Every structure is written in structure tokens, then in C-alpha cells.
Chain A
């Protein structure tokens, strides 16, 4: 009885619409934080020429290795100090967001197109087609990433678009696995049988009937893969396989700052934090997206 009363009361509390929206936001608070981080990242990437106090390429040897503003010998001209060539670290980090976002988003889109396409075929046709594609996916997943990435960069040459291609070529199998399993589940549903009995072409069934039902999963996986691509880009750049100097990439900046880590720690710490924060933000947003598209959680 008291349980019932409690239930009725709690329903009354949630009745006004305003509080419901608030509760939803509270439920997804981490996602909202992630979203704000991503928004800030996007705005930075778009408006960095306006926000950056200095030209990210302008060198000034006499002004090199200056500490951030709050330390001794730091000044307001260089908010986060300068690097070994006297370039303004703050401006370079702002510009670095462009590289990270472009690489992350385009690599994720490219790998989604490749992975989802193969996954749809494997899941829909099954049998031999599935065996061949699944075997290929397993081979790809078992292959060491660095080795594959190094060979690809060696063949293609290091440039922005080749980094994107490399990341896509090494990471698409995750999409294939997810798409394949979900397609197999959907294929058994009666609306796919209905589409077959309505004599629709296979491409229409795949793209118009199955794919829209996969979008939530693909979207969630996509956000996670954007974060992963950003981290992998900095890893490649750190190893010298990625974005070449003097273009400001967070990974390349981390690599350059490594030599000065003991005395001038800020050279490595700030680009590192930028990578960490954006990857965390995207992952939080991805989690929230998953919760929102999951009908079981949506009801509560």
C-alpha cells in the first residue's frame, strides 16, 4: 500500500512538463557536458583565426620556451607560453583543433561507409558471402595497427588526406561487425519478408529498410570512432608518420614537446590535455546518444 502511495506521489512530482525536461537533462548530465565540450571544440575550430592571439607559424627564436602566464617570467602576450621555436602555444593548440576534428570526423565517416557496406552484405546474404567477409574482418582485427598504419603511410606518403585514409583502412572492421549482427537480426523480422514479397530490389531493402534501423547503433559507434581517430592521429603524428611539421597537430606538438618535458612540461602537457578533453567529450556524448536511442532507457 505504502509502495503504491509512493508511486503515485512520484508520478505527481514528475507531472509538470518543465521538471520532466529538467529530469531528462539531469539523467543525461554527462552527455550534456560532453556536448558542451564538443560545441566548444567546433566553435574553436571554426573561429580560431579570430580567437588566436598570434600566427601559429610565426617563429621568434629570442622569445623561445617561455612559460605560461601564471608562472615566473610568463607574460600575458603568450597565455600558455611558447615552444622551442618561439611559437605561441595557445594559438597552435587552437589551430590544432582543426586538424583533430577534420581527421576524426572524416576518418569516422569513411570507415563507416566501408564497414557498414560490407556488414550489410555479410548480414543480409549470409552463407559464403558472410564467411568471406567475416574472415577478412577477423584478419584485419588481428593485424597490429601500427604495422599496418606504418606500411600504409610508407606507401601513400604522410599527408592529411593519407592519414584519414590510413585510419579508415585500419578501423572499418568494427562497423562491419556491428552492422552484420544487427542486419542478421533484422533480416528475420517480418517487415523484411514483407519487403521481399513486395518485390523490392535488394538495394532498396538494404538501404531503405535495413539501414535506417541501424542508424542509432552506427551513430553511437561513429562518435566513439571519432574519439579513437583523434587519438590515433596524434599517435601517428607523435611517431612522425602523421601530420608533418610545421602544421599544428596536437600529436606532433606532443612529440616536439617530449624533448623538453622535464624543464618545459607545458609543451607536452597542454596538447596532451587537449587530446584527452576532446576524446572524453566525444565519448560522453556517444554514451548519452546510446542511452537516448535505447527504447528501454528512453521510457524512464
Chain B
């Protein structure tokens, strides 16, 4: 197969991305340490696909998502979007980048400006970046709202007049306005009622089919990304532990952390899942990202811990095509 074509299809490639937040103390603001929020993450993503990024809260997945849009400046590493290195972009290129990459936020109560009307929230970008002619503006905003299942008469209202699910739809319409290639959805449903979660997830699915963009969906709950992701990356304490297609990951999880995450997904019927009898729930808390454990970061909670795990960083092992795991157990 032609290598150049493979490259062209790759929408996003992250190479050894690191984001360390300095901890400053004292009058002089001396740096006394770092929060290793993202510490050497690499993955690739195909155009038109959905990648699910899963991990416990505090593992750095939101920081990761924000680095992709350069809302945080990465400490080191490179991010290629459409073949361009975006970590070295200047201001004007960055503006162009952000018209192609958009974000959906976690908290729909914090992500909409309470002082702006819905038409302004959704349509401001159209005007700022001259995306539609002036006379088509109102029609376009109306169209965007209809795309996410809202009505035209919602345009003149303020965010506080809407429910959480509706607010999240407004946030999605705002991202759609830019006609992005990639949408980073940072915990898009975790602040919503369970009954609404499925609706929003289905909406995201149908929008992808209609407009053909790619998603990076960040979640702390595997069941959320289960239905929508083509590939899933599992993150623990600033590092990836396993990357696989959704089927591989669900049917054949390799890393002990992934197994624990899968076991933690609630099952509706008692005994509804065979593995339930032997589920492996994790004990203890996530260690501090300020002083992460040596070697493999998971060794403090790992049921299969070996001596080498405390000493060296685990290698990247391909256990089957397209299924990588970062663990000595398979080495």
C-alpha cells in the first residue's frame, strides 16, 4: 500500500506529548515541582473515525484534549493535524487551525455565556470569521439549531431558560458553526441525567454521519464511549496504557487497568455478564500526578505486579494488529 496515502488519511497524530504544570510557591514564585498531567502520550487517529479517550478523573485526559486545540501550550512533543505540526504554529495559523478543530465542553452550565442570546452564542463565529454572507446569517443559525434538535424560536432566548441537555445541544451547535474536521468532546454527557445522555450521544453519532467529521470523545466511563468509538485509548496518570479497536478492547482487554475499568461498568441484570463473577475491582486511589510512581505508573494498584514494573517503564507491545498495550506482562 502507498505510504503517502496512509499519511494523508491520518487526521491527527500525537507524538510523545507532555504537559507539565509548574507548582509555584513563595513570594518569588519559585517552581517547587510539576504536575505531570500528560507525560509522553502518542497516538494516531484516522479521518472520519471516533477515538474514545478513557480514564479516571485526574488522569490528564482533559488536559490532553485542551492541548490539541492549544488551549494549553504543550510542554514538549508534537501534534500533527492534517499533516501540519500545530505545536509550532504562529498566531494567524492558530486561528485557521481553530476553525478546523472545535471543542464540546463538559459542563453545559459553565460553557455558555449567561449574558448572550442563543443566536449570538451559536452565530457569533459566523460573523467574526465571515463564514456566511450577512443576509444569510439568521437562516444559518436557525439551520444549526435545527441540526441539533432545537427550534428557530429558541434563538432569542438566554441559556438559563434551557435544560442541561438543551444547553449541551447549544454547545454542539456552536461547534458545528465552524464546520470543523475534528471535534474534541470533553466529557460531553457526564454532567447530564442518564436519560438525556443517550440522546446527546445519539445526536453526536448522527451528526458525524451527516457531516463526516471525526471525534475525540473524552470520558471517564467506558459505557459512554462503548457505542460510538471506533478505537479506544485508555489513559492512566498521564500515560496511555492500552489502545485498541472497540471490539478488541471489550472482548479481549489486555492491560489489568482496562480489565478493572470494564469490570466497573454497571450491568443492568444480575449476572448479566459472565465476567461479573470474577470481576476485578481496583483498590486504593490514583497516586498523585505530582510524584507519579516509578516504572509502570500502575504498579501500586496492579494485581499482576512484577518486580520489573517498579523499575522500568513498560514497553509498547502489539498483541494483535492495531492493539497496543503498555505492560511487561506481555513482553
Contact = CB atoms under 8 A, between A and B. Distances in A.
B214 interface: no
B114 A213 contact: yes
A189 to B, nearest CB: 5
Contact of B129 (A190, A194, A195, A199): A199
Contact of A190 (B99, B102, B110, B128): B110
A195 B171 CA distance: 11
A213 B102 contact: no
B178 A194 contact: no
12 contacts: A189-B110, A190-B107, A191-B110, A193-B66, A197-B71, A198-B124, A198-B178, A199-B94, A199-B128, A204-B128, A209-B113, A212-B115
Interface string A172-203: 00000000000000000111011111111100
Contact of A193 (B71, B95, B115, B178): B71
Interface in B265-319: none
B171 A194 contact: yes
B103 A197 contact: yes
Interface in A251-299: none
A213 B113 contact: yes
Report which residue of A189, A197, A201, A212 has the largest number of chain B beta carbons within 10 angstroms of its beta carbon: A197
Contacts of B181: none
Given A198-B125, A200-B128, A193 B103 contact: yes
A212 B124 CA distance: 15
The 9 closest A-B pairs by CB, nearest first: A190-B111, A212-B115, A199-B98, A190-B105, A199-B95, A190-B110, A191-B113, A198-B125, A197-B103
A193 B186 CA distance: 12
Interface in B38-82: 66, 69, 71
Contacts of B95: 199
B106 interface: yes
Q: How large is the interface on B (under 10, 10 to 19, 20 to 34, 35 or more residues)?
A: 20 to 34
B130 to A, nearest CB: 12
A274 B15 CA distance: 72
A191 B174 CA distance: 11
Contacts of A201: 128
A197 B102 contact: yes
Interface string A212-230: 1100000000000000000
Contacts of B128: 198-201, 204
B69 A197 contact: yes
Contact of A196 (B71, B111, B114): B71
Summarize A's interface: helix, strand, loop or mixed.
helix
Contacts, number: 57
B225 interface: no
A196 B72 CA distance: 11
Given A199-B129, A213-B113, 16 more contacts: A193-B66, A193-B105, A194-B103, A196-B71, A197-B69, A197-B98, A197-B102, A198-B174, A198-B178, A199-B94, A200-B124, A204-B128, A209-B113, A212-B115, A212-B116, A213-B115
A155 B107 CA distance: 54
Contacts of B17: none
B79 to A, nearest CB: 15
A194 B114 CA distance: 13
B141 interface: no
Given A189-B110, A194-B174, A213-B115, A199 B103 contact: no
A193 B175 CA distance: 12
Interface string A148-188: 00000000000000000000000000000000000000000
B315 to A, nearest CB: 36
B4 to A, nearest CB: 30
Interface in B148-194: 171, 174, 178
A209 B95 CA distance: 18
Contacts of B101: 197
A198 B71 CA distance: 11
B112 interface: yes
A201 B112 CA distance: 18
Nearest to B111: A190
A213 B114 CA distance: 8
Nearest to B180: A197
A199 B95 CA distance: 5
A120 to B, nearest CB: 15
A196 B98 CA distance: 9
A40 to B, nearest CB: 32
A201 B105 CA distance: 20
Contact of B106 (A190, A199, A213): A190
